[in-house]
Amino acid sequence: MSQLFIRQFTDADTGPADELLNLAFHTSASRAHDLAIYRQLQPDGWFAAEQGRRLVGMVGAIHYGDFAHVGLMAVHPEAQRQGFGMALMQFILAWIETYSRAGQQPPASWLDASLMGRPLYEKLGYTSYDETGIYVRPINPAAPLPGGYLQKHRIQALTPHELDELAPLDRAVFGADRRKVLQALLKVYPQRAFLQRDEAGQIAGYLIAQKNRIGPWVMLQPGQAEALLQTALSLPYEGTLAVNPSSKNKEISELLARHGFEWSRANQHMGWRVSQLHGQRQQVFSQASLALG
């Protein structure tokens, strides 16, 4: 049997990788669009694994400076139980160490592990700190907002002009500077990003509605989340709509249930070479994605 060869991910890998991810994760939705965004964010951080010129695995990471977030680690079902998952993770952790040293940063990382993947990550030294839930909602027609709704709840379009004000607040919640993620998502979804302010004009929360998920969604003030969610639900989506909150958030489950979301599963939010949970996860109403954190 030929050995595993891990190399940089290329455009030609997108189609085969999309098929591989669905087989490995038992899903059917295309991730080609997400892969394009992730590779734009971190062109040198995504890798494909070949065995005899056949794509059998992939993995990648986004480095945020203070830490990296690993995502889309997958092995083709026919190639599992051969050590390929371990090889891919050792490869990406080596990349994180090299990248971190170049920027004089600690080589720390986070990921969201499935039940199947958790034993592998524990062998590599990852520790569970909380859970990332996956709540889903079937396709529903967009729900138009009543007249004056946005003005009443002080909701406005989130544009690049607000990032200087928003980025430091978001960093306190996320635990690292993810301005590059916000910039990329605003470019892709310019009409699907919203910012909410309180009566004093301070930022109370924000969200970006992607094509099949809501996230990032962060609330800086408690009790303000429903208006932003209703604003997001006034938009159309492709396929099942997902929200990925932290288990530290005690407000989210009841709120989502009122709006037709059902709990699907939970992934373990795991850290490598970290001493504590990053940021303020209780304010995370939805991650940008399971791959982006």
Is pLDDT of 106 > 80?
no
Over residues 49-58, the pLDDT tens digits come to 999 889 999 9
Is pLDDT of 1 > 80?
no
What's this model's pTM, rounded to 2 decimal places?
0.94
Q: Measured between alpha carbons, how far is 38 from 41 in angstroms, rounded to an integer?
A: 5
Burial of 168 (0-12, 13-18, 19+ CB in 10 A): exposed
Over residues 54-80, the pLDDT tens digits come to 999 999 999 999 999 999 999 999 989
Average pLDDT over residues 151-171: 97
CA 140, 198, 233 angle in degrees (round to 5)?
Answer: 5
Per-chain mean pLDDT for the chain: 95
Q: What's phi and psi for 114, nearest 5 deg?
A: -75, 170
More confident site: 70 or 224: 70
Over residues 112-152, the pLDDT tens digits come to 999 999 999 999 999 999 999 999 999 888 888 999 999 99
pLDDT value of position 95: 96
pLDDT value of position 223: 86
pLDDT value of position 48: 98
Written as one letter, the residue type at 278 is H
DSSP class of residue 83? S
Q: Measured between alpha carbons, how far is 250 from 262 in angstroms, rounded to an integer?
A: 16
Written as one letter, the residue type at 30 is S
Going by C-alpha positions, the residue among 43, 110, 163 that lies closest to residue 276 is 110
pLDDT above 90 coverage of the chain, percent? 88
- Both tokens of 196, joined, read 């909410």
Strand pairing class (262-272; 68-75): unpaired
Q: Measured between alpha carbons, how far is 292 from 279 in angstroms, rounded to an integer?
A: 15
Phi-psi label, residue 186: left if phi above 0, alpha if psi -120 to 50, beta otherwise: alpha
More confident site: 188 or 144: 188
pLDDT value of position 140: 80
Helix, strand or coil, per DSSP, at residue 246? strand
pLDDT value of position 99: 84
- Provide the Cα torsion 107, 111, 116, 120; round to 10°: 0
Residue 56 near residue 49, CB atoms below 8 Å: yes
Q: Measured between alpha carbons, how far is 231 from 155 in angstroms, rounded to an integer?
A: 9
CA 19, 20, 23 angle in degrees (round to 5)?
Answer: 90
Is pLDDT of 105 > 80?
no
Q: Which domains does the chain have, with CATH numbers?
A: 4-107 (3.40.630.30), 134-267+281-286 (3.40.630.90)
**Paired residues of 109 in beta bridges:** 68, 272
